[in-house]
Structure 1
Amino acid sequence: MDRLRNVIVLLRGQLWIIPLVLSALALSLAYWVLTSGASFLEVRDVGGFWWLYGGDASSARDLMSSLLSGLMTMTSLVVSVTFVILTLAANQLGPRLISTFMGDRQIQTVLGLFLGTILYVLVVLRSLDETLGVEGVPHVAVTIGSALTVVCLFALLFYVHKIARAIIADSIVARVAGDLHNDIRSMLPAEAKETEPAIPDLTRPRAAAVSLDRSGYIQVIDYDRLVTLACRADAVFAVKVRAGHFVLKNGEHVVVHAGRPLGEEAVQGIRAAFVVGGERSSAQDLEFGLRQLVEIALRALSPGINDPYTAIAVIDRLAAALEEIFMRSLQQAVWRDKEGKVRVIAQRADVQGLADAAFDGIRQAGQEIPAVLIRMADVLGQLAPVLRSGQAQTAVAQHLGKLAETATEARLAPSDRTAVLRRIEQARVATATRPKEGSIHVV
């Protein structure tokens, strides 16, 4: 399922898929209307319907030519505006967020509607011959082409509205945060419980270390396949990397604990369980969405942009994501076979690492901006009701300590430093008491 989800994630980021599908549907519609659909949609009395085209072949050809010219102009405008928006987004929000724009289904649908309509009008135009006369003109086909053009006009209006909303930083933050919440719900179990500690089976000696033999970002690890391979070899696999890590060609990526060395077929099977690509994917990488939000905040806090309000909006979304993470169990780290024997021990993201990925970069970039430090202290204090585990409580306490150290050493006005330290102390008091189990209602 993770492999399939990774493929879906990669396909959703492709701009051409929905336009290609809509173009194929438009060509199919044109072919059907001009061939078998002609008899099915035949209208005896053309003048009886005001909305149905009733002109001759010459007029129909002129009409289709005008529609085609206008559609080409509108499509050029849409494509030009799209490239401008992508350029602005890359400069202000980060180049890695371009995939978010490209994966927007509404933008893809508008582009596909324009391309499909152009292809439909072009096919109908080729079928129009001035010698057809009034009876031989495909009235229904011309009418459909006119209707599709009208739809494209309204789609252009919607597209302008969509693009105008897309360049607002808060909209992008909300969009990325929504994708992050979807990833959290799909990757983490809904019920919060203590995860099994990833302790290797020390009764088995170390037999070998397997490298992935290729470099790139790990996108997906097929742990079920590794369990099957470990059962065949009667071994325990300790996976030293996880989704989101960049690996080199050589290294101890999987350590094998077994009574005998692995064969070449088993080594190739282990390597086949890893999907390595040129970019990170959100299929198994829980930090992917966190780092996208952090990148927006870091861009906002850069001297060239200097927009702390966007960074504060990101901090709010990060706190909401951590709240949901703290209310759930972490990713599975130990896999057993049917007999209960440990077969695979994985390296997965922990609470401390997720909190560090969310707040460290923003705290470092905004160390001289009191509003950012105060907001970070406030949201850490607001996480108090969901600190059900000792790990979560320790992670929040450590970040409050880092904030206090930053506020003490940063170049701040004495009044600002006092305000920041006071809010940090309030957050410490709020998070000092760990809530009782069952005190939180998990939906």
Structure 2
Amino acid sequence: MTGTYGTSGKSGTTDRTGLTPRVSQPRALASLRERLRDTFWFAPTVGLACAFALWWALSEVDTKIVTYLKEEEAYEELGDLLSFAEDARLIVTTISAAMMTFIGVVFSISLVAVQMASGQLTPRVVRIFVRSRISKLTLTVFLATFAFSLLVLTSYEGGAAANPRRITSVPVLQSMLTLVMVGLSLLLFIAFVSSTLRLMQVGPVLDRITGEAVRALEHQPGGEHGETLLGPATAWVVYRERAGVVRDVNVARLVRAARRHGVVLRLIPRTGDFLVPGTPLLAVHGGAAPPSRTLRHTVGVGVERTVHQDPAFGLRQLSDIALRALSPSVNDPTTAVQCLDRIVQFLSVAARLPLGQLHHRDRRGDVRLVQEVPGWPDLVDLAFEEIRGHAAGSPQVTRRMLAGLDDLLLLAAEERRKPLLRHRALLVGAVERTVPEAAGRAFALDPDRQGIG
């Protein structure tokens, strides 16, 4: 390698046990899985394909059953099957007509829930409904039941009035499965309504956002945190594709490309940054830039941010909900306190994890990719800066924020306490300037985990 660089190796804060938390390796096809979860068409499409395949398989089995009974000359049993099929035919016909109404009800409930949640909280929570597994499963089963019932109707050959000796197939198994799918649809409808009602409440929405953000924080792309001293950049890779937000980074492909060409790559934008064509994407250290074809599809760009590989986006959503709750038009400090509860939860996890610049190594242990990720001061500023500016006039929020900062000061290592102390001092100063009465200031600056318990 022609470039000169040095690395400090693994660094970062340690938890109370003295062990540096391990950063998990990314799972294969994780980016594809996340992109499919952000769509609402994939699961219903797969469900319709499975319904057709299942109908074809069961129709073959029903045909073989009729053929066997005719070979055995069991016409009495065949007549019983025809009688059952005729009874089931009326039910299947009713089901095929009713399922579209059921599907319309599901969509109506979903749209109302999305509208209420985005209006009361933030438009960014719409992605929670899009990613909801129960919503996708309910719609998938409903559509599959509707399509399957229509296919079953094509398998009838005249019902009980038909001559058993001329019948080639009786949709017995198909009709029974249709009834089972209807029962499953009813159960899923109950679960869907229950889940949707929960997602219309503040607490479950905040819990979902925090859970996704914490999982993204604990499962960062594998690498080591520390400071890397790189020589001057010898080449630049310019972004040439459509504008959008950096959603994910294919670390393995970038490391392979850097290893094959004997260079070190430094990713300039962070996950969540907005990329414009013509701006620098990668800085190359130690040689010429790899060919563009080897770097294709290494950085995923989309319309909006996702929590995948971007845990700060979860913190951004919590801050947005708190800011809307503190706006004069809403004036809901209790929701802001709930957001602060989750913000403190997120930062308590981040306090024991190594943060900052990520180094990705090849098989020989050489640093091949340097990636910037949010550090501890970045997360603390994102969590408290904007909320603190709107909280000085609400004692419920200032008391909860002070209690949260005090808790984080106990959990954070010594080198991470400075940004927490800075925000605490700024909050105290803002309250002293806003509240003229001494008694009011003393009350607003009394830490309380419930705000005003």
Q: Secondary structure at the match of 1:244?
A: coil
Q: Secondary structure at the match of 2:331?
A: coil
Segments of 5+ residues of structure 1 without an aligned counterpart are 425-443
AA of the residue aligned to 2:226: E
TM-score where L is the length of structure 1: 0.82
Map Cα deviations across residues 341-376 of structure 1 (whole Å, 9 max, x no partner).
554433221000011112222222333211111101
Q: Does 1:293 align with 2:318?
A: yes
Contact 1:221 1:242 in 2 (8 A): no
Q: Would the alpha carbon gap of residues 401 and 220 (structure 1) be closer, same or farther in structure 2, given more than 3 Å must change?
A: same
Q: Distance in 1 between matches of 2:282 and 2:299?
A: 11
Residue number in structure 1 paired with 2:237: 210
Contact 1:244 1:288 in 2 (8 A): yes
Residue number in structure 2 paired with 1:118: 146
Q: Secondary structure at the match of 1:108?
A: helix
RMSD value, Cα: 3.2
Match of 1:99 among 127, 137, 142: 127
Which stretch shifts more, 126-135 or 350-359? 126-135
Residue number in structure 1 paired with 2:155: 127
Q: Would the alpha carbon gap of residues 131 and 144 (structure 1) be closer, same or farther in structure 2, given more than 3 Å must change?
A: closer
Pairwise CA distance, 1:94: 1.7
Q: Distance in 1 between matches of 2:189 and 2:366?
A: 60
Residue number in structure 1 paired with 2:230: 201
Instruction: Give the number of equivalent residue pairs.
Output: 411
Pairwise CA distance, 1:388: 1.9
AA of the residue aligned to 2:236: A
Which stretch shifts more, 406-415 or 209-218? 406-415
Q: Secondary structure at the match of 2:124?
A: helix
Q: Distance in 1 between matches of 2:121 and 2:33?
A: 24
Contact 2:336 2:397 in 1 (8 A): yes
Q: Distance in 1 between matches of 2:315 and 2:125?
A: 12
Map Cα deviations across residues 395-436 of structure 1 (whole Å, 9 max, x no partner).
211221221232223357543322233439xxxxxxxxxxxx
AA of the residue aligned to 1:150: G
Map Cα deviations across residues 3-57 of structure 1 (whole Å, 9 max, x no partner).
83222212112122222222222222222222234435989777999xx994464
Q: Secondary structure at the match of 2:248?
A: strand
Which stretch shifts more, 290-299 or 319-328? 290-299
Q: Would the alpha carbon gap of residues 188 and 207 (structure 1) be closer, same or farther in structure 2, given more than 3 Å must change?
A: closer
Alignment of 1:339-358 (within 5 A): 342-358=367-383
Alignment of 1:19-418 (within 5 A): 19-39=44-64, 54-55=83-84, 57=86, 59-130=87-158, 133=161, 135=164, 136=167, 137-187=170-220, 195-198=225-228, 200-202=229-231, 205-214=232-241, 215-258=243-286, 262=288, 265-266=290-291, 269-270=294-295, 272-330=297-355, 333-336=358-361, 342-390=367-415, 392-410=416-434, 414-418=438-442
Pairwise CA distance, 1:224: 4.3
Map Cα deviations across residues 308-351 of structure 1 (whole Å, 9 max, x no partner).
21221111111111111111222652345566655443322100
AA of the residue aligned to 1:201: L
TM-score where L is the length of structure 2: 0.80
Residue number in structure 2 paired with 1:427: none
RCO (CA 8 Å, sep 6+): is it higher in 1 or 2? 2
Q: Would the alpha carbon gap of residues 46 and 353 (structure 1) be closer, same or farther in structure 2, given more than 3 Å must change?
A: farther
Q: Would the alpha carbon gap of residues 159 and 228 (structure 1) be closer, same or farther in structure 2, given more than 3 Å must change?
A: closer
Q: Secondary structure at the match of 1:127?
A: coil
Which stretch shifts more, 163-172 or 270-279? 270-279
Contact 2:268 2:372 in 1 (8 A): yes
Segments of 5+ residues of structure 2 without an aligned counterpart are 1-25, 449-453
Pairwise CA distance, 1:180: 1.4
AA of the residue aligned to 1:423: P
Which stretch shifts more, 144-153 or 34-43? 34-43
Q: Distance in 2 between matches of 1:318 and 1:307?
A: 17
Q: Distance in 1 between matches of 2:322 and 2:107?
A: 28
Map Cα deviations across residues 39-80 of structure 1 (whole Å, 9 max, x no partner).
35989777999xx994464x5443322122222211111111
Q: Distance in 2 between matches of 1:189 and 1:386?
A: 25
Pairwise CA distance, 1:269: 4.1
Q: Would the alpha carbon gap of residues 159 and 333 (structure 1) be closer, same or farther in structure 2, given more than 3 Å must change?
A: closer
